[in-house]
Amino acid sequence: MILPNPQVATQFRELGDGWFDGEGTALDKSGLAWLEQLFAEEFARDLPIPTFFPTPEGNVRIEWFAGRNDVSLEVDLHDRTGYFHAMNLDSGVAEEANVNLQSQAEWAKLVATIRKLVS
């Protein structure tokens, strides 16, 4: 499960077009299945469990709040890429990158970066 609560995962699958105040695109069910599998197989178990949000564009936003770092990954369920963004709330220094989530090397680098920021 990509989400700690199976009910929430089911709710993501049930979102139809217009779910967000009459706007919002339904989330791609095969993309959600891919994301669940990716997290089940590749996500580092020692990292804090992030929070998952559907986006009006039909993607999934994943967020970690740790200390003074705000860390997020917006996952495009269709092209299976992500936009990573992290900001240190004290210094205002930001880090961002586009990530091919189908690449094991890029996934490993992303996990290492998240580990550094949320530890």
pLDDT value for 26: 95
pLDDT tens track for 63-92: 988 788 999 999 999 999 999 999 999 998
Domain ranges of the chain: 6-118
Whole-number percent of the chain with pLDDT over 70: 95
Tell me, yes or no, if the pTM score tops 0.85. Answer: yes
Query: Do 58 and 77 meet the contact criterion of CB atoms below 8 Å apart?
Result: yes
Q: What's the confidence (pLDDT) of residue 4?
A: 54
> What is the percent of the chain where pLDDT is above 90?
58
Which pLDDT score is estimated for 1? Answer: 43
**Angle formed at CA 86 by CA 83 and CA 105, multiple of 5 degrees:** 55
Alpha helices in 1-119 (DSSP H): 6-14, 29-42, 104-118
Query: So what's the pLDDT on residue 43?
Result: 81
Cβ atoms within 10 Å, residue 62: 21
Residue that wins the pLDDT comparison between 59 and 33: 59
The tokens describing 103, both together, are 């690449």
